[in-house]
Amino acid sequence: MNDITSLGESGVNRSRAEELMTANGLEAIVATTPENVHYVLGSSLRATNWTMQIYALLPRDPSLRPCLIIPTNRLGVIAQMGITSADLYVYSDFFVEGSVEGKPSTPDIDLFYSLLQSVKTYAGPVEALEAAAADLGLKGQPIGVDEMRITPDLLSRFAEGLPGGQALPAYKLFRQIRQIKTPFELERLRRSAALNESIEQQLIDLIAAGVHERELAEHYRLTVMKGGGTPAMTAVGAGPRSALPLIENYFRTIERGDQVRFDLCMQLDGYWGDTGRTAVLGEPTPWMTRHFEAVLSGWKEALDLIRPGVKASDVFQAAVARVQKEGIPHYRRQHVGHAIGLELYDDITLAPGDHRTLETGMVLCVEVPYYELGAGGFQIEDTVVVTADGFEFLTHMERKLFVK
């Protein structure tokens, strides 16, 4: 049961999880959202609809293995992925016949077959979750539940067996644990950032008169897919459309003199990449240069402050003040960056209302965009990990107004 070495296959920060569960008086927490389940497991599982329930139980005690609660039909995927980081508790009927004995097979089929033979099937997800908790010796102990992706009726039923009939909502607690990235997670965030920015550089290289925004967006999405990732928001805006913050549709053919703003989001192995740059086809106007320099100054100001112990809100205030001073006196912004990880917006935002302090191991996207309708938009966004003496870049593209 307690094969500690295989715990390394997921990115969970067990010591931080233990500390925060202890502080909240909990013996375990149950992940229900795909991101938190991925966190416990180290791999993504798809659910086919909202009623399909997939949970991962993470015990406070780091010597106990996590448990995964899945419908029986997911066992084959578990076998293909070679997931061994959790004990399995399955529910609902699913029929697969045959035997691998003496037959042509592959290791994933052998594992699938042995799982089908060995797992006990429970009536439903709550029964499976209760069995997992009981096997860990946690029956009647306080357990928190990520409240975002469990159906309310099942949450009520599970809570009945908990002290006081209550399950502490644990979505925010999972996010708090996930604030400090583990080496497993940093490696994935590095790979995701590298794929994302390599394609962003390709888009800049492709900028030319007559190229349509849509061609660039499609190149991005297909190249992300070819690289094994999943593309998401693909902001490619040329000329006046560079002033649109989120971009999901593409209308403009690039012309000489256009500025082009990129803000590109994708996932690789569950971890997000989010990078932004601005380019101009032809000579930038003085207006473009002044505004880009102002935004770049604010971004540098933010980075100058980033180190353990600094308040997120102080980074925000300093960056905005710097942009205002350097050329955009009316500059306003709701944040100048956000944590990134298994969610595009992980916990901690460089925003006026977030007074928490930065810590070593946090990964942040630092961005100081400016959007002016009827004129244009500017973006610079990079990803950094907070280190003991400041930060280290996960992105490495040139940080300038690209001139084509």
Which residues 146-205 are close enough to bind its own copies by CB under 8 A?
Answer: 147-149, 151-153, 169, 171
| Residue with Cβ nearer its own copies (104 or 286) | 104
Quick note: the x/- pattern for its own copies over 335-374, rule CB under 8 A, is: --------xxx------------------------xxxxx
Applying the rule CB under 8 A, the residues between 385 and 404 that interact with its own copies are none
Q: Which of 243, 302, 394, 397 binds its own copies (CB under 8 A)?
A: 243
Residue 77 touching its own copies (CB under 8 A): yes
Could you tell me how far CA 227 lies from the centroid of its own chain? 18
| Cβ-based burial of 4 (10 A; exposed 0-12, middle 13-18, buried ≥19) | exposed
Q: Does 287 bind its own copies (CB under 8 A)?
A: no
Spell out a b/e string for 362-399, using b for 16 or more CB atoms within 10 Å of the CB, else e: bbbbbbbbbbeeeebbbbbbbbbbbeeeebeebbebee
Structure tokens at 131: 């069995």
122 counts as binding its own copies under rule CB under 8 A: no
Number of residues that bind its own copies (CB under 8 A): 72
Least Å from the CB of residue 258 to its own copies: 10
Cα angle, residue 396 at apex, residues 187 and 357 outer, rounded to 5° = 65
Cα 318 to Cα 114: distance, rounded to the nearest angstrom:
58
For 107, other C-beta atoms within 10 Å of its C-beta total 10
Which residue in 62, 161, 227, 240 binds its own copies (CB under 8 A)? 240
Q: Which residues pair with 143 in a beta bridge?
A: 28
Which CB, 59 or 270, lies closer to its own copies? 270
Q: Does 215 bind its own copies (CB under 8 A)?
A: no
Q: State the DSSP H helix or E strand holding residue 277, giving kind and residue range, or none if neither.
A: strand 271-280
Q: What DSSP assignment string belongs to 134-194?
A: HHTT-TTS-EEE-TTSS-HHHHHHHHHTSGGG--EE-HHHHHHHTTS--HHHHHHHHHHHH
Q: Which of residues 124-143 bind its own copies (CB under 8 A)?
A: none
Q: 183 or 245: whose CB is closer to its own copies?
A: 245
- At 110, the amino acid letter reads D
- Alpha-carbon dihedral of residues 184, 189, 194, 200, nearest 10 degrees? 160
User: Rounded to the nearest whole angstrom, what is the least distance from the CB of residue 4 to its own copies in the complex?
Assistant: 26
Stretch 6-35 residues interacting with its own copies (CB under 8 A): 33, 35
| 76 is a site residue for its own copies (CB under 8 A) | yes
- Binder of its own copies out of 251, 287, 321, 355 (CB under 8 A): 251
Q: Which of 23, 208, 246, 321 binds its own copies (CB under 8 A)?
A: 246
- Nearer to its own copies by C-beta: 2 or 334? 334
Please list every residue from 290 through 319 that binds its own copies, using CB under 8 A.
Answer: none
CB of 80 vs its own copies, minimal distance in Å:
4
